[in-house]
Structure formats: C-alpha cells, structure tokens
Amino acid sequence: MVEGAAALHQLAERWRQESRWAFQVLHAPAEPAGRGLALPPLPWTRSLEAAEQEPIQDAQDTVSANHKMMGVAITWDAEQIFFLPASSESWSLLGGMLGNPGPEKLTHDWKGQLAALSGSCCDTGGSALPALLCLQPVLDIRIAAWLIKPDSRDASDNPNGPASAKQQRSLEGLVRSRLGEGPQQGLSELAQSSAHIPAVHAQALRACKHAGLIWHAFSHFRRILQEESLMRAFVRVEMPLVHVLQSMEAVGIAVDPASLAKHKPPLKRRIEELKQEVRRLSGLKKLDLCSPKEVGDMLFQTLGLPVPSCAMRGPSRNPSTNNEVLEELASLHEVPRLMQDFRSAGKFLSDFVEPLSRRARGLSPGTPGTGSHLVRIRGSFCQTATATGRLSMEDPNLQTAPKTRKFNVAETQAQISEGGTTRHGRRNHDANIRDAFVAPEGRVLLSADYAQMELRLMAHLSGDEALCAMLRDPLQDPFTLWAAQWMLIPASQASLAVWEGHRRGGEIDWLSCAYLLSLMGLNSRRGTRCRDL
C-alpha cells in the first residue's frame, strides 16, 4: 500500500524506468444516468457546418455518471505489487504513466476501466478526480486470449449469461483455463490474507492479485501470439478498437420513442385477433396460447393432427410445438400457421418494442414518457463474444432487431369481435423497429456491409475457377445465380424470376456450406423438408 508523498515519489522514480508493467484499476460501478438521455434536434436555421461542429449532448434531467475510484494496483515483475489509493497525487502520477506512449501497459477488461478513467470520477472521499488520457500500447490479456482461441468462452466479454459462465470469464477463470493453477498458487498467500483485514484493503489486495495474474498470463500469451503471427493484429487492430467501442458506448444511439410507441397498439390488436381466431377454430374458449402443453394438446388431441417425428426429439414426454413442428403441420390445418403468427407478433412486441420503449424513456415500466425528444440508448459492444470476430451488442441486443413485419389488423380494439373477426375498418400496418433508430437533424446514419465476404474467402482458399470468375464480375450476384441453378431457370431470367422468392435460399445454401451447417439446420433455415433437398 503506497501512502504518503514520500512513498509515492519513491515509487514514481522506479516506475518510470520500466518498459512494461501490469495494472488493474479498482473502481465502483458508476451511478446510473438519469432519465431521458434526450438528444435535442438541431434547428433547421443552423448550417450543416455549424451542426457538425456542435457537440452531441444529453438533454435536461440527466445525471452525470460518476465512477468512484478506489485506486490502482501495479506491478512490473509480480514479485512486488503496489496499490496506490485514489487521490489527486496518485491520479496525477497514473495519468502521466498511462499517457506515456513508450511502455507496454498490460491489463484485463480494458474497456471497462477506460470508461471509468475517461469519464467523471471521484475518490472514496467524494473529491473529484481528473479524467485521464490513455495512449497506446495498452494490451488486454482477454483480447489476446480470444485471438489465440476465439471459440473459447473464457475470453468472452458478453456481460450476460449464467453465473457459471461469468465465473469462467473472470480473470481468475481465464488464467486457470489457459495456464492452470500455477499462477494462482503463486499468489495464494496474498489471496488468503485478504480475509483478515478491512474490506477496503481486501479489495485492494484482490486488485493486486489481478495485476500479478495479468503479468504472468501475458508472458504466456505473448509467446503464442508471436508464434501464430497474431501480434500485429492484436496491437494494431484489436487494441485501438477498444477505444472506438468505448466511445460508441458513451455516445449511444439516437432513438425516436414515438416511432416505437406507434407499433404497440396495432401489435396488441393483432395478437388478440390471432388468439381469438385460434380459439374459434379449435373450439377451446379458454385455451392459453402461451402454454406449450395446452397448445400441444390442442393440436394433437383436439384437432387430431399427426405428431411429426421432429416433435419427439427432446427429453420431454410431451410433443414439441416449436416452429419446426408448426411448419410441418401448416399444410394440414390453418391453426399451426396462426400459431406461428401469434408467436412471431408476441416476440416482436415483448422482445423489442416494449423493452426498447422502456429503455428509451429511462423510466420504470408503465410510467408514461413524454416522447417529445430523441433519446439515446447505451448498451455494451462485445468485442470477444464471437468466434468469427463479428461485433455484437448486449443490453439491448440490437443486432437481432427484426426486419419489417407486415400485417393487416383492425383499426381499433372495439372492432375485434368475440369470435375473432372484425365488423369493418381494417388497415395494413408495417411494424419496423429499425426505423426507430434515427440521426439528429443535419446528420445521417450510414449503413455498410461486406459483399459476400465468406464466398470471397472460399474462392481465395480453394482457387475454384468458376467461383473466382463469378466474384470478379461486379455486375453478378452469386446468390441469385445459385438460386437460378437450384430452380433450373436460365441465368438471364434470374433477376426477374428468382430475386424475390429464391435469392435468400441461394444465400442460405452458400453460407451453410461455409459454416458446415447440418442438413437439419439447412432444412430449418430454408423452410424445407429432407425430401425436398
């Protein structure tokens, strides 16, 4: 524990001589931001140049997030580990060291620490601490471990999941998984001593243990990264990306609450219509459509539909009523298709419209929001959660936002009769979640994607002449051509006859080959049966 000006000065002299050191910042989670997080629209009277120069700010009624800093643990040999309690003096020293582009700075979960260091923070006594500028190279052993073994869960930065998975993803779990118990045992005396001292010191000792584990682990990971020629990607691509993702999380994405709110009434009416129609066709007035058992009894006993073989794969004795089963039964009766629509509409409402509306308001469920401003949703961007390297987002999970859902529905709830039909007054409704994500006036959102990345990798690795020739032609769409071959349609007719209905099937076929999807998985994604392939 480094306390006092003299001890801090002595440590600083020694610390500045090191070309590599490990650190772990100990901080309490930030206080949640206040309600609204509104982004006021830019006035039309402002020029575009002036708009671009104006910083994006949250609107009124927001509370600045304030991280409580307890200190930082540092080491450069794991023989001696120092803890600097947070103070203006120690933070000034830490800022100078993090802002030095020379030494390698080793840590774990850098994005979380970066958010705390670069934002509003205070020490344990409540005194304000300055935000710190952190310069590369900062090297995160979690990202190093993910690069070495990208399909391993121990390096995932997904904040959600069961407690067992979170333990596996902890620093201790990562080191144990990759290096065994050796580093843990080497620091066992330090860990055991934490049970006999005040809680604040116990947390400091745990941070010191983490710094020691980081130092041990990086030597192991560095060797593998160099052997597998991954060091350049680690230092020049993945680590700078951490700063980008942290900034994206801090800024958030603008959402129009009014766009979300307009979908709720028609979705609820459509769900009620489907519920009443299923009850009418089945003759069961009290059927619970959210109960798989009751739905199964209705399908296979009341309606007498045959039980498909795919319905008996699970351990349960009751036949499944999942989407694959409903798809098998859809050609035999109207109810299975209505059940698919019911579940789809319900998922759209409960998984996307309502949660995003609550997050946009920043208020508890059931409390009405003003809906008069754009607001900003802030989630967690995950860098090491997928084996392919694709970024994902949690809280909310925006990459799964569904495409537009189109349906015909009664204009008012009063027009839905008890029998599930409507007397008059229907309209078409397009429920589009993605339209709710907007740019402020004077700005735009840019959407970009790779063009057939998997196919280009397959062509490069295989050297297949036909595939290479197809991809060299910028006017050719390989998915459309493949779909034309599948449907035995001349390529010249592909754009007209194939585009709408079968191009998606062609894309599924290609990606299924690239990712070694099973025949069962291909059936499910294509909406076909084994005998159709």
Q: Are residues 422 and 518 in the same domain?
A: no
Strand 138-140 relative to strand 380-382: parallel, antiparallel, unpaired? unpaired
Q: Which residue has the tokens 């590369």?
A: 136
User: How many whole angstroms separate alpha carbon 388 and alpha carbon 24?
Assistant: 28
Q: Among 220, 251, 282, where does a domain finish?
A: 251
- Of 405 and 83, the structure prediction assigns the larger pLDDT to 83
Residues 244 and 320 in one domain: no
The pLDDT of 217-242, averaged and rounded, is 97
For residue 285, how many other CB atoms are within 10 A of its CB? 9
Say yes or no: 336 and 424 in one domain: yes
**Tens-digit pLDDT profile for residues 441-463:** 788 888 887 778 888 988 999 99
Q: Within a domain: residue 409?
A: yes
Same domain, 290 and 373: yes
Q: H or E element: which one contains 70? A: strand 67-75
Q: Is 239 a domain residue?
A: yes
Please state, in angstroms and rounded to a whole number, the distance separating the CA atoms of residues 277 and 287.
11
147-150's contacts with Cβ under 8 Å and 24+ in sequence apart are 147/225, 147/230, 147/233, 147/234, 147/238, 148/221, 148/224, 148/225, 148/228, 148/230, 150/384, 150/386, 150/387, 150/388, 150/389
Whole-prediction pTM: 0.78
Task: Tell which wins on pLDDT, 131 or 30.
Answer: 131
In a domain, 448, yes or no: no
Residue 53 lies in a domain: no
Q: Is 426 within the bounds of a domain?
A: yes
| Residue that wins the pLDDT comparison between 164 and 93 | 93
Phi-psi region of 452 (alpha: psi -120 to 50; beta: other; left: phi over 0): left
Residue 35 lies in a domain: no
| 340 CB neighbour count, 10 Å cutoff | 16
Q: Give the tens place of pLDDT for each residue, 173-222.
A: 999 999 887 776 666 665 555 445 555 588 899 999 999 999 999 999 99
Q: Of 380, 402, 436, which one is at a domain's C-terminal end?
A: 436
- For the cut 70, the answer to whether the pLDDT of residue 523 exceeds it is no
- For residues 113 and 213, membership in a common domain is answered with yes
The pLDDT value given to residue 13: 96
Q: Are residues 245 and 263 part of one domain? A: no
Does one domain contain both 175 and 243? yes
Q: How far apart are CA 46 and CA 53, in angstroms?
A: 11
Indicate whether 441 belongs to any domain.
Answer: no
Angle at 28 between CA 24 and CA 29, to 5 degrees: 110
Of 108 and 192, the one with more pLDDT: 108
What separation in angstroms does the CA of 531 have from each of 11, 211, 506, 523, 528?
A: 73, 58, 18, 10, 8
Tell me: pLDDT of 401 over 60. Answer: yes
Q: How confident is the model at residue 466 (pLDDT cuts 50, 70, 90)?
A: confident
Q: What is the pLDDT at residue 309?
A: 85
More confident residue, 9 or 358: 9
Type of residue numbered 142: R
**pLDDT > 60? residue 519:** yes
Which CATH number does the domain housing residue 410 bear? 1.20.1060.10
**pLDDT tens, position by position, 259-318:** 888 999 999 999 999 999 999 999 999 999 999 999 999 999 999 999 988 887 667 778
CA dihedral 158, 163, 169, 171 (to 10 degrees): 130
At 188 the pLDDT is 60
What is the 8-class DSSP label of residue 404? -
One domain, residues 146 and 96? yes
Query: How many domains are contained in the chain?
Result: 3
Cα-based distances in Å from 362 to 57, 357, 428: 16, 9, 31
The range of the structural domain enclosing residue 317 comes to: 257-436
56 part of a folded domain: no
Q: Are residues 422 and 516 in the same domain?
A: no
518: number of Cβ within 10 Å = 9
**Residue 58: Cβ within 10 Å count:** 19
Confidence of residue 98 (pLDDT cuts 50, 70, 90): very high
Residue 530's pLDDT is 53
b/e 240-264 (16+ beta carbons within 10 angstroms → b): eebbebbeebeebbbbbbebbbbbe
Which helix (H) or strand (E) segment holds residue 319: the answer is none
Tokens of 208: 């010191």
* pLDDT value, residue 42: 42
- Are 363 and 483 contained in the same domain? no
Beta carbons within 10 angstroms of residue 407's beta carbon: 18
Q: Verify that 275 and 416 share a domain, yes or no.
A: yes
Decide which of 251, 266, 298 is a domain's last residue. Answer: 251
Is the pLDDT score of 364 beyond 70?
A: no
Query: Higher model confidence: residue 162 or residue 229?
Result: 229
DSSP state of 443: -
Q: Are residues 411 and 488 in the same domain?
A: no
Condensed to tens digits (0 to 9), the pLDDT of residues 370-395 reads 334 678 888 899 999 999 898 999 98
pLDDT value at 363 more than 50:
no
Supply the CATH number for residue 82's domain.
3.30.420.10
